[in-house]
Amino acid sequence: MEMPKIDASIVARKPAIVAALLQVLPPDAVIYDEIEVRAYECDALTAYKCPPLVAVLPRTTAEVAAVLRICHQMGVPVVPRGSGTSLAGGALPTGDCVILGVARMNDVLETDYPNRYIRVQSGRTNLSVTGAVESDGFFYAPDPSSQLACAIAGNIAMNSGGAHCLKYGVTTNNLLGVTMVQMDGTILEIGGAHLDAGGLDLLGVICGSEGQLGVVTEATLRILPKPEGARPVLIGFNSNEVAGECVSDIIKAGILPVAIEFMDRPCIEATEAFAKAGYPKCEALLIVEVEGSRAEIDEQLALIVAIARRHNPVEVREAADDDQAKRIWLGRKSAFGAMGQINDYMCLDGTIPVSSLPYVLRRIGEFSKHYGLDVANVFHAGDGNMHPLILYDANKPGDLELCEAFGADVLRLCVEVGGCLTGEHGVGIEKRDLMKVQFAPEDMEAQLMVKDVFDPKWLLNPAKVFPLDVTASRRA
């Protein structure tokens, strides 16, 4: 993966940059030792590493503004960082950048149950937002699988989703307002505890802008009352096609499960060997979860099971109690860990129209043969967000490149059938060079114009999202 050439003139000014940052931050918030900055050399896309010039860990919006003002004046690129869990390289540094980490900004600022929102500093982890309100019967809905570690800042940057977004939506649907600092240090308040914008919906374009428009320091998030209960059913099928048809029929019947998860045979076998959840031996497996009171759950599951039976399932397993429900989810939740036991893997994130599912899975199987790399499919079937896991050996020369070529073919396929490159992980550097597959030059230009407005000098996370040749003149 190509990254822009390090600007030697910035590196040469490191002492002056560090000195300026130490004027506005306490000593322990400025990390510039060459060994220590290595802690920030990558995110969860560990195939790519580059230590930053400096890393800063401000504690307040005012400190963030001061840092950005300095970097703006000195012409230093800034890469914002939440918890560093991006699978797309969204927080990957360049050697001439300042990493601005919000990890020390993790306070709850306000909890308001009558108005159903919480205001937090953006470094707070996703799960600890729910943790702050769950004893009072509320939760924060978006639940990316990294929710134990990932920060709200990163969730907003990538517009993160999760397993339950079929019902509850993704980050953008649960974000009410932000405090954001622009690259020149201007502090903006966008949105708030009220609903919707009075003018242009700037919040809508800020969410998912991958830290390129500003650094979000505080967020007002919608919280929801916890459902009375939830229960999954596991359904096994002898073909991917039939499983796909069953998903479509469930949705067409007017049922809206909170989650419909899909695993194919390679994924089932790998997780079974790892987690021993007792899954049936079959080609495709669905986990469908519904919410409500006991009676409401029974009513919905009866309908779902009746639809499933019309598709000759290999097995239908309803959870009779919490323990059985946990066992049904065990394999799915261990899927990534199980794959990691077998090999290194790359996790893709394209979305496809649900109707294209059988065709896309067949083509992925063909790619797998062509490249000689195994692939396992696990994904959110209700919304078509796929997560093919391509297995490779990082120690084998050429294997990573082979895996990347395979992944690119899969993502091109997603676009070809009417879908997109990324459903919830973001573009980062990982899918940057594929953007031309999805966007015509003018469609990309329209997005660049938005960045021109928020960050005219192109200093915020400049080497991400868009192909480097497309942004070269702006970054110059």
Using the rule CB under 8 A, is 238 a contact of another protein?
A: no
Q: Which residues between 136 and 165 bind another protein (CB under 8 A)? A: 137-138, 158-159, 161, 165
CB 76 within 8 A of CB 184: no
d(CA 6, CA 24): 26
Q: How far is the CB of 2 from another protein (least distance, A)?
A: 19
Looking at the Cβ atoms of 299 and 315, the one nearer to another protein is: 299
Q: Per CB under 8 A, which of residues 81..140 are in contact with another protein?
A: 112-117, 137-138
Q: State the Cα torsion 165-169-172-175 to the nearest 10°.
A: -100
358 binds another protein (CB under 8 A): no
Q: Which is nearer to another protein, 225 or 278 (CB)?
A: 225
Q: With contact defined as beta carbons under 8 Å apart, do 100 and 70 qualify? A: no
Q: Which stretch binds another protein (CB under 8 A): 7-15, 308-316, 329-337, 450-458?
A: 450-458
x-or-dash pattern for another protein, window 248-267, by CB under 8 A? xx-xx-xxx-----------
420 close to 374: Cβ distance less than 8 angstroms? no
Count of residues interacting with another protein (CB under 8 A): 93
E-strand ranges in 165-308 read 175-181, 187-191, 215-222, 224-225, 230-237, 259-264, 284-291
Q: Does 449 bind another protein (CB under 8 A)?
A: yes
- Binding of another protein at residue 306 (CB under 8 A)? no
Query: Among residues 54, 284, 352, 390, which is the contact residue for another protein, using CB under 8 A?
Result: 352
- 174 token code pair: 């649960």
384 binds another protein (CB under 8 A): yes
Taking Cα atoms as reference points, which of 439, 442, 471, 469 lies closest to residue 457?
471
Helix (H, G, I), strand (E, B) or coil at 262: strand
Question: Which residues are bridge partners to 44 per DSSP?
Answer: none
The answer to whether residue 226 forms part of the interface with another protein (CB under 8 A) is yes
Member of 274, 355, 402, 475 binding another protein (CB under 8 A): 355
- Here's the x/- map for another protein, 393-432, by CB under 8 A: it reads as -------------------------xxxxxxxxxx---x-
Q: Is 467 among the residues that bind another protein (CB under 8 A)?
A: no
Q: Which residue lies nearer to another protein by CB, 57 or 411?
A: 411
Task: Say whether residue 464 binds another protein (CB under 8 A).
Answer: no
For tokens 């990316």, the residue is 144
Can you say whether residue 84 is alpha, beta or left, with left for phi > 0 and alpha for psi between -120 and 50 degrees?
A: left
Is 150 within 8 Å of 126 (Cβ atoms)?
yes
